[in-house]
Structure 1
Amino acid sequence: MQTDKDPTRGLTHALVAAWQTGQTTSALPWAGALGDAAAAYAAQEAVAQGMGWFRAGPAQHWKSGGPHRQAVLTHAPLPPAGVRTSPADYADMRFHTPGIEAEIALRLGRAVSPEQAAAMTPATAGPWVDAMAVSIEIVDSRWQEGGDAPALLRLADLQSHGALVLGEWVPYAARDWAAQPCEVRIGSQTPVVRQGTHPLGDPAWLLPVWLRHLTRSGATVPAGTVVTTGSWVGLLQAQRGDSVVVSFDGVGSATAQL
């Protein structure tokens, strides 16, 4: 009897089926399927191919981030059907246990080659960005265990991505991010207000790491590619029917209807 030499194939099929049916699936059978982050990223790519998300070209929208600057940052391409402009209505999409993250998205103003990505530092990354926008990431999981699923399986599942709302683009400029206020309103919940709480201190700090990830196979990242850069408020719980409003003073706002 033949055995499957690719341990991620069954995992890929399980995630593709979950996306297609709108049903969650258990992570338990796949707990040992991924040996490292490279295998998780390969699974991301296989799921994207299985779903046909990027047949027209490379992913235009990404998420990237981590809990602090010493952590290994993670990255995921975002399915285009879930990326919408504020005000965004998601009545047509199914979320299992939606969470809300208030973020700042950055847009590349020019293409970045592998050589340019390799030479980039946080101090030199800013001029590559032409615009920023308030963004709302709707976090959701295809795994029944949600955030309790193993980290590599969550990474394979687009780092638990559900959808992304983008507010109005405004010209990018370095700001005093340590003084930046952020407010999140979810349904009838008490508003959440934070100041200077981006986990990396500056949303643009992750650009070199993210771009080296995108160019690792030798591809150039096109101008106009967007990355959302991590939550200022952690993960806030929401439910179907909630209206979500995220505001950053001096940058803008974004609205989603779940």
Structure 2
Amino acid sequence: MTMIDAAVAALVTARNAHRATPAAQVPLPDAAAAYAVQAGVARALGWFQDGASARHWKSGGPSRDATLTHAPLPPAGIWPSPADARAWPFHLRGIEAEIALRLGADVDATRAAGLDLASASALVDAMCVSIELVDSRWREALEAPALAKLADLQSHGALVLGDWQPFAPRDWSAQRCRVHIGARPVLEFQGTHSMGDPAFVLMAWLRHATQDGAVVRAGTVVTTGTWCGLPLATAGDRVLAEFPGIGQAEVQL
């Protein structure tokens, strides 16, 4: 059994048993191996049937200069707002308030290769507020090695999507974000997206997603990275993310 096969088996078992497993037992050599594990887990669990590509993704990174990472998201954990996640088997409940973008056109590898920020933004037909619930199948959780987290869908737990709004250029540096977690004081942010513009992830994401001849279909959604860092919620908390002028998303944990 290769290390990739071992990592796939460990993650599939962890997901099926709802029990975390040690990442240290399946070290991965590079990002290509981590992405191969993503694909292997998706095949083993039948997330994308009959050759269909993922319709929901996450993409992002700490800055424009960093290598961005990407993960296709399993459809069972995609919920419209307001969502009730009380029955979902979380190990932890990290909160990322984000903007999700929806493609209005198909994109193949040739089209993706020629994109710049303006032409990539022009492919988007709608946006919404999203809450990504961060979780881990690794026992080390957020302290797991970076490649292990990438293999585990970059620590994805579930995704809550608010109401869709038409997408248009805006001054993202002035965009405000408020996050309510249970009875805690409201967290407030402005212009805190790591790329300065959520659409910046589109170029790298679409090139990644169209490799090996895949086509990203119109209607595919990508959530683009946190505005609020990663505060941790607990079971029983109600979480509300608000982006004034765009909308909100809500989930009961």
Distance in 2, matches of 1:214 and 1:124, equals 17
Letter in 2 for 1:30: V
**1:221-254: CA deviation from partner (whole Å, max 9, x where unpaired):** 1000000000001101101111000000100000
Structure 2 letter corresponding to 1:248: F
Partner residue of 1:133 out of 123, 128, 131: 128
2:154 pairs with 143, 156, 159, which one?
159
Name the counterpart of 1:38: 32
| Counterpart Cα distance in 2 of 1:13 and 1:101 | 28
Report the alpha carbon displacement of residue 55 of structure 1 after superposing the two structures with TM: 1.0
Question: What is the CA distance between 1:123 and its match in structure 2?
Answer: 2.3
Q: Is residue 23 of structure 1 aligned with residue 19 of structure 2?
A: yes
Distance in 2, Cα, partners of 1:122 & 1:206: 9
CA distance in 2, matches of 1:83, 1:93: 12
Corresponding residue to 1:173 among 151, 168, 176: 168
Q: Residue 3 of structure 2 is aligned with which of 7, 24, 49?
A: 7
| SS across alignment from 1:237 | coil
Give the stretch that moved more between structures: 225-234 or 21-30: 21-30
Residue 87 of structure 1 and its aligned partner are, at CA, apart by 0.3
Residue 54 of structure 1 corresponds to 48
CA contact (8 A) 2:79 2:160 kept: yes
Amino acid at match of 2:82: P
Selected match of 1:106 from 76, 101, 106: 101
One-letter amino acid matched to 1:166: L
Aligned to 1:50, the other structure's residue is in SS state helix
Residues 178-227 of structure 1 show CA distances to partners (whole Å, capped at 9, x for unaligned) of 00000000001111000000000000011011000001111111000000
Show CA shifts across 1:20-77 (max 9, x none).
Answer: 111111112113xx21101100000000111111115211000000000000000001
List alignment gaps of at least 5 residues for structure 2. none
AA matched with 2:39 = E
Q: Which residue of the partner structure matches residue 96 of structure 1?
A: 91
Which of residues 197, 202, 207 in structure 1 aligns to 2:197? 202
Question: Given residue 54 of structure 1, which amino acid in structure 2 is its aligned partner?
Answer: F
- For the aligned residue pairs, the C-alpha RMSD in angstroms reads 0.8
Question: Is contact 2:84–2:251 with CA below 8 Å preserved after alignment?
Answer: yes
Percent identity for Structure 1 against Structure 2? 57
For 2:69 and 2:121, the matched residues in 1 are separated by 20
Aligned to 1:132, the other structure's residue is in SS state strand
Q: Deviations over 1:95-130 (max 9, x none)?
A: 111100000000000101111100001122111000
TM-score, length-scaled by structure 2: 0.98
Q: What is the TM-score with the length of structure 1 in the denominator?
A: 0.96
1:247 aligns with 2:242: yes
Cα distance in 2, alignment partners of residues 94 and 113 from structure 1: 36
Please, which runs of 5 or more residues in structure 1 have no aligned partner? none
Match of 1:227 among 212, 222, 229: 222
The whole-number CA distance in structure 2 between the counterparts of 1:178 and 1:49 is 40
- Paired with 2:53 and 2:213, the residues of 1 have a C-alpha distance of 13
In the alignment, the residues of structure 1 paired with residue 209 and residue 121 of structure 2 have an alpha-carbon distance, to the nearest angstrom, of 17
